[in-house]
Structure 1
Amino acid sequence: MLHLRRSKSFSFPLHLLNLSSLIISKPFLSAAVVTEEESIDSSILNPRNPVPETLEISSERRFLSGARVSGYRERDKHGFGHSRVYLFEICHDLAGKGRLKKLRRILRRIVEEKGSGSAPALCEILSNHFRKRDYNSLVWDMLANVYSRSEMVHDALFVLSKMNELNYKASISTYDSLLYNLRHTDMMLNVYDEILANGVSCSVYTYNILIDGLCKQRRLQDAISFFQGMKGKGFFPCIVTFNTLISGLCHAGFVNSAWSFLSMMIKYRLFPDRFSYNSLIHGLCVAGSVERALEICDHMERTGVKPDVVTYNIILDGFRLLGLMVESWKVFHRMLLKGVGPNLVTYTVLIAGHCQRGDIDEGLRMLEEMISQGFQLNIITFTVLLSSLCKRGRVDEAIRLLSKMESVCLDADLIVFCNLIHGYSKQGEVERAIQMYKVMCSKKIMPNSAAHGAILLGLCEKGMTLEARKHLDNLTESGFLVDVRLYNIMIDGYVKMGDIQNAIGLYKQIITTGVTPSIVTYNSLIYGLCKSGKLKEAKELLQTLELYGLVPNTITYTTLIDAHCAVENIDAIVGLLDEMDAKGVAPNVITYTVFIKRLCKKRMLQKSVKILKNMYTKGLVADQVTYNTIIQGFCEQRNMEMAFCLHDEMLRQNLEPSPITYNLLVNGLCINGNLEGAEKLLDTLLEGSVRLSRIAYITVIKAQCAKGNAHKAVVLFKKMVNTGFEISIKDYSAVINRLCKRCLVNDAMFFFNMMLSIGISPDWEMYAVILDAFRRKGDLSSVSKLYAKMIINGLLHK
């Protein structure tokens, strides 16, 4: 009988991007091999020369109990000794009696003792001593079977190749076992071709294993072809066949096709089980159709299949992936109402959901609740929280959580240490990251490329390139297989420090050591050369990367375009854009924005608008930065009509103008002397609940002050204060300076006293401006009072 196995353990990914591996059990087809209790047909047994029963049993017992045959200490050239020949003698007698259970037991002990790679020697013993013995083919077949079931696939294949030379046929059970072990590889179909070539009849298990393997290899069309083929050969598909196809289609995202197989299953008078429905529900949840998954859950219950904790965990995780934690909790309460108890996976999914939305404290609270309820925790739940804490810079809390994890007898693994090292590195605490690295090594956990990368990144970000290079050189000298990612971190570190010479030197080193550079390597170097003004060398490097079969990407060209923008080489920019088009490299929004920025600086505004329109024809949606760049250009040219047209275009494209957009428009109106329009724009935006920046208000207030409209400036300033903006001394200083220049010193004093009333102390420069204004006005009394205030505030000595 074909069984479905559920995996009892599972591995946890670094960022917990998908919890499906924790939630849904996957079908594993057990190899359909000869069972322990089976026997062979008595008509093919040869009763001649039987071994006495007492000798057979006593010899077998001695071997199976672990005792070695003492009379055969001398070893032959194979290193096995004559005891193996004697044991194969027993195997042949057991085969003759049809006692296959005991035969397999002896062969298994021989195989386990000698281990992987022992097939050639064992085959030679069988060839030299037993070629003319009855039932020799059965012993060979059983040996291949035992190797396969012990997952020594190469040994099993070797035995089968020798059997072909001797014209012995392997049984379908042996082939089935081998197919199962090779189901993740292309060799599976080669074995199937051999089955057909040898005329061995397939079983329904054979097709189930083939279909399962093809699904795992994502060769779904081939899997469906085998399904149709088994029907054509008279094999009746079983529920395992359908479940395998449904699961494979769902994992590949073809949920509708999977649903059609569920319907077909019913036509075959096979009733879908919990696994059938769980596979469909999982597929729907991964596709984001969680509501439909809930409908399937209801359908299960109506057909008499009760959803289990796996079912609910899948749906919980589906809502988590969508960020709908409220819905996840509704599913949790539904579980409880249905009498389904949550398990460790349930709580881990909920904790992951809260961490995903930034509510780590709720996740920590749930962990405490799990501990208090006596849950047998595993490292995955802790890793979810540790990873989230480290990402948000709460590394000290992560260390405390690590202590708690160790207190419940869970040891930190590589993933935990990598998270902590990354956390410290991101905070710039490289010394603590290195300390954590040493702790990991002391626990005999070998650091991987990610751990070394975190150390290098931390050192480079602190500008400690000498220390980073020393760490990298130590890795290479110790024999660690340094991948290109580590070299890229080091090269990028040099580039950011402006050390292009060492960056190029390291690049040449990795070429000589046989490490193939990646596009990231070249992008860093091209950026460094452009930053150093070496545009010719950067262009030459662009041609070099193609020798390694690499294609320049958008970042490569955008870097070069930006560099040519800086030297105002428009022809070179156009050439690079044409080259991108010829090579099928699509420019992105940043590429166009860089070019538009340069055009605006050259006052080529109409051309920049044309480029903007060209973006939309290529399916690119411009962002606020792109629009703001062009709006600023038109404002500087005092073409406010065109600036507002672009603002309206943003709204038509469903792009919300940013506070910077309105700052530019307000400033443009003020520059053009249209203060009334600027105030009207501010009022309109406030009525529409648009959040303005403080700069927009200050711009209009300063303009009103410059015009001598002190009253309007006061009104706007109060409105800004009431809006809730935090006003700084610089804001007061800007207004007071302009009023004093207009000799509106009394109005300046109004703002001066307002500033004092909210606890902001004026500096010496502000006093000086007001004193000068009073002197010019001839108000010496006010000058004396201000001097007195300055002395009191410690700004002047008596």
Structure 2
Amino acid sequence: MSLCRHLLRSLRRPSPKSSLLPLAAVVAGDPQQPPFALTLARSFAFSSAEEAAAERRRRKRRLRIEPPLYALRRDPNAPRAPPDPNAPRLPDSTSALVGPRLNLHNRVQSLIRSGDLDSASATARHAVFSSIRPTVFTCNAVMASMLRARRLDDVVALFSFFFNQSSIVPNVVSYNILINSHCDAGRVDTALDVYRHILDHAPFSPSSVTYRHLTKGLVDSDRIQEAMDLLREMLNRGHGADSLVFNTLMAGFIDRGNMDRALELFDELRERCLVYDGVVHATLMEGYWKRGMHKEAMESYQSLLDRQFKMSAATCNTLIETLLKHDKRTEANKLFEHMLDNHTPPSFIAMNTDTYNLMVNQCFKEGKFLDALEVFHRTGKKPCAMDVGCFNNIIGKLCENSLLLEAEKLFEEMPGKSVNPDAATYGFLVDGCFKEGRVDDALRYFEKMVSMAEGAPKVDVGFYNKMFDGLVKAGLVSHALEIFGKMGERGLRPNSVSYEILVRGLCKEGNLDRGRDLLEEMVRSRIAVSPESHGFLLDTFRKAGRHDEIERLFARSAGNFPPQFQRVAA
């Protein structure tokens, strides 16, 4: 240690003699100057003593977080065993999600948040063949986004590609996403095969989430006895009594009219767990209400409050939904106030945007629009972080109820809360403007959306069709055609709805020549005409004495489609 301090002092204050020493003497190793030579070599690693000390602290901290493998052996003096070539490979740890692989993960997550799932999937799949391979966390993010979008077959295909073909090691979350997709698709036996594969081959055990998905799949398939057997297997394997697994089985028995069996499971859960999820009480309350036992339902709810559990946002949301469903508005308001008081992020998340959506929707259901705005602006001790979906929920309902000005005020609040509007937000405002006859404002919102550069919401053909329909109904077919001509600039191709809206609008205005040209363009693009538009066009051109040319056009279009589409085109 004293030698190190001497070297560092020499680096900071080199003596005049050492500074004039020839380089050849240093290389030859002059016995009179060893400290300077060593200091010169060390100066290339650290520029100061503070940097060297920081590096030592970083390495010690790294060893505490991820100790070396020999530190995990019971006897550190025992000889190290040779690696087992047959040992199963382990999935990535969180330490792998750094550097370029973290940048890839963030890029994929940004695409998922923007709703462009196909691009997110393509980015992750292409990275498999590059030097920056995705981690299991990136693969799971893509699969989970497909599951949320109900693209269940894509989940199975992505699991096979990432983990079977590309040799990425799955973790328990990967298997849970696959099991969930199979259960939602009604393939419960396949999901059970995946579960047995985990038991036989995976280097980890199934989690409680695994049993939640499997029990729900079995109950939904009317195989409740097998679900009970799986519950016993979960307990026998040493897993804790998961309250959501019990809740699924209780709901299954209640739906089948066996309330006594559900109460037996509830009693067993309370014996095994001092603290459990309050969703179980919501299930019991539903069971009591189905049997007309209103007093028992509220007693069950009160017994939950008496336990003074610190309930998560999802649990409270389920309770609020149950209370509102059965006209217990007073109790729901009290629970909402309780959630506002307990919401102290980041230490505890007592509410989320779904909480606001439930309360706002109830206000609209009761026709109390101003109360909905008041609820939306309630913050409590610490404001809840709003997302675009929460804003869209209330903006859409305001536009539906002819409260466009209030919706626009909320739209103007979004940037101040770091929330970026998406295509749905603009869609609600455009619909509201057309409904109020404010065509110029609808065009302004549309231009604002499509002219935004990087980070702009993804515009699809459906949004363009919304504009075409509104402009045609407002008698502005020329404006619609102008927007139609610019679709290619954003890489979008019109579909059959786009063409039919414009062709119908042109024909109603009497511009049959332009309508026929657009219809011919539609036929050249091999886009089938719907039976409704087919009949309308034949009738319109027949009245103008031009039915022969439209019939020839439809006859020619019939040969452009396979037999299964010819009945639509002809």
TM-score (normalised: structure 2): 0.62
- Give the counterpart of 2:261 among 488, 505, 528: 505
- Give the counterpart of 1:523 among 267, 274, 279: 279
Alpha-carbon distance in structure 2 between the residues aligned to 1:419 and 1:307? 35
Conserved? CA contact 2:538–2:550, under 8 Å: yes
Q: How many pairs does the alignment contain?
A: 452
CA distance 1:422–1:728, change in 2 (3 Å): same
Q: Which amino acid aligns with 1:592?
A: Y
Q: Which amino acid aligns with 1:516?
A: C
Residue equivalent to 2:76: none
Alpha-carbon distance in structure 1 between the residues aligned to 2:339 and 2:306? 18
After superposition, the C-alpha distances for 1:247-278 in whole angstroms (9 at most, x for unaligned) are xxxxxxxxxxxxxxxxxxx9xx9989xxxxxx
Conserved? CA contact 1:600–1:608, under 8 Å: yes
Q: Give the 3-state SS of the residue equivalent to 1:663 in structure 2.
A: helix
Residue 389 (structure 1) shift: 5.4
Alpha-carbon distance in structure 1 between the residues aligned to 2:415 and 2:287? 36
CA distance 1:472–1:352, change in 2 (3 Å): farther
Residue equivalent to 1:665: 429
Alpha-carbon distance in structure 1 between the residues aligned to 2:338 and 2:234? 44
Root-mean-square deviation (Å): 5.1
The more displaced of 563-572 and 723-732 is 563-572
1:473 aligns with 2:195: no
Q: How does 1:642-721 map to 2 (within 5 A)?
A: 642-689=406-453, 690-691=456-457, 693-694=459-460, 695-721=462-488
Residue 714 (structure 1) shift: 0.8
Identity %: 14
Alpha-carbon distance in structure 2 between the residues aligned to 1:643 and 1:423? 37
Alpha-carbon distance in structure 1 between the residues aligned to 2:452 and 2:137? 42
Residue equivalent to 1:559: 318
Residue 722 (structure 1) shift: 2.6
Conserved? CA contact 1:635–1:664, under 8 Å: yes
Alpha-carbon distance in structure 1 between the residues aligned to 2:172 and 2:568? 58
CA distance 1:739–1:363, change in 2 (3 Å): closer
1:761 aligns with 2:520: no
Conserved? CA contact 2:231–2:245, under 8 Å: no
After superposition, the C-alpha distances for 1:615-635 in whole angstroms (9 at most, x for unaligned) are 277423433233333333443
Q: Give the 3-state SS of the residue equivalent to 1:656 in structure 2.
A: coil
CA distance 1:541–1:360, change in 2 (3 Å): farther
Residue equivalent to 1:729: 496
Residue equivalent to 2:567: 795
Residue equivalent to 1:600: 364
CA distance 1:581–1:390, change in 2 (3 Å): closer
Conserved? CA contact 2:423–2:457, under 8 Å: yes
Residue equivalent to 2:159: 394
After superposition, the C-alpha distances for 1:188-218 in whole angstroms (9 at most, x for unaligned) are xxxxxxxxxxxxxxxxxxxxxxxxxxxxxxx
After superposition, the C-alpha distances for 1:433-471 in whole angstroms (9 at most, x for unaligned) are 54465466668x998562x75255246347655557525
1:780 aligns with 2:547: yes
Q: Which amino acid aligns with 2:163?
A: A
Residue 480 (structure 1) shift: 0.9
Alpha-carbon distance in structure 2 between the residues aligned to 1:465 and 1:609? 42
Residue equivalent to 1:574: 333
Alpha-carbon distance in structure 1 between the residues aligned to 2:259 and 2:138? 34
Residue equivalent to 2:303: 544
CA distance 1:532–1:646, change in 2 (3 Å): farther
Conserved? CA contact 1:603–1:633, under 8 Å: no
Q: How does 1:444-483 map to 2 (within 5 A)?
A: 448=205, 450=207, 453-454=209-210, 457-458=213-214, 460-461=216-217, 467=223, 469-470=225-226, 472-473=228-229, 476=232, 480=236, 483=239
Q: How does 1:140-539 map to 2 (within 5 A)?
A: 298=46, 311=59, 314=62, 351-353=96-98, 357-358=104-105, 392=143, 393-395=158-160, 397-399=162-164, 418=172, 421-422=175-176, 424-428=178-182, 431=189, 434-435=192-193, 437-438=195-196, 448=205, 450=207, 453-454=209-210, 457-458=213-214, 460-461=216-217, 467=223, 469-470=225-226, 472-473=228-229, 476=232, 480=236, 483-486=239-242, 488-489=244-245, 491-492=247-248, 495=251, 499=255, 501=257, 505-506=261-262, 508-512=264-268, 514-516=271-273, 518-520=275-277, 522-524=278-280, 526=282, 534=290, 536=294, 539=298
**Any stretches of 5+ residues in structure 2 without a counterpart?**
7-44, 67-89, 106-123, 144-157, 344-348
CA distance 1:546–1:560, change in 2 (3 Å): closer
Q: How does 1:623-634 map to 2 (within 5 A)?
A: 623-634=387-398
Residue 569 (structure 1) shift: 6.3
Q: Give the 3-state SS of the residue equivalent to 2:272 in structure 1.
A: coil
Q: Which amino acid aligns with 1:668?
A: G
Residue 703 (structure 1) shift: 2.0
Residue 500 (structure 1) shift: 7.0
Residue 495 (structure 1) shift: 4.5
Alpha-carbon distance in structure 1 between the residues aligned to 2:405 and 2:140? 50
Conserved? CA contact 2:530–2:568, under 8 Å: no
Alpha-carbon distance in structure 2 between the residues aligned to 1:676 and 1:529? 51
- Give the counterpart of 1:614 among 378, 386, 407: 378
Alpha-carbon distance in structure 2 between the residues aligned to 1:502 and 1:771? 61
CA distance 1:303–1:786, change in 2 (3 Å): closer
Conserved? CA contact 1:732–1:752, under 8 Å: yes
Conserved? CA contact 1:701–1:735, under 8 Å: yes
Q: How does 1:74-153 map to 2 (within 5 A)?
A: none
Q: Give the 3-state SS of the residue equivalent to 2:378 in structure 1.
A: helix
Q: Give the 3-state SS of the residue equivalent to 1:622 in structure 2.
A: coil
CA distance 1:455–1:737, change in 2 (3 Å): farther
CA distance 1:524–1:641, change in 2 (3 Å): same
Larger Rg computed on CA atoms: 1
Q: Which amino acid aligns with 1:550?
A: F
Residue equivalent to 1:34: none
Alpha-carbon distance in structure 2 between the residues aligned to 1:595 and 1:796? 46
After superposition, the C-alpha distances for 1:328-371 in whole angstroms (9 at most, x for unaligned) are xxxxxxxxxxxxxxxxx9x9887443665446886897799xxx
Alpha-carbon distance in structure 2 between the residues aligned to 1:728 and 1:669? 24
Residue 648 (structure 1) shift: 1.5
Residue equivalent to 2:519: 752
Alpha-carbon distance in structure 1 between the residues aligned to 2:485 and 2:479? 10
Residue 715 (structure 1) shift: 0.7
Q: Which amino acid aligns with 2:176?
A: H
Alpha-carbon distance in structure 2 between the residues aligned to 1:636 and 1:486? 42
CA distance 1:490–1:785, change in 2 (3 Å): farther
TM-score (normalised: structure 1): 0.46
Conserved? CA contact 1:500–1:529, under 8 Å: no
Q: Give the 3-state SS of the residue equivalent to 2:494 in structure 1.
A: coil
Q: Which amino acid aligns with 2:522?
A: M
Alpha-carbon distance in structure 1 between the residues aligned to 2:557 and 2:129? 55
Residue equivalent to 1:16: none
CA distance 1:640–1:508, change in 2 (3 Å): same
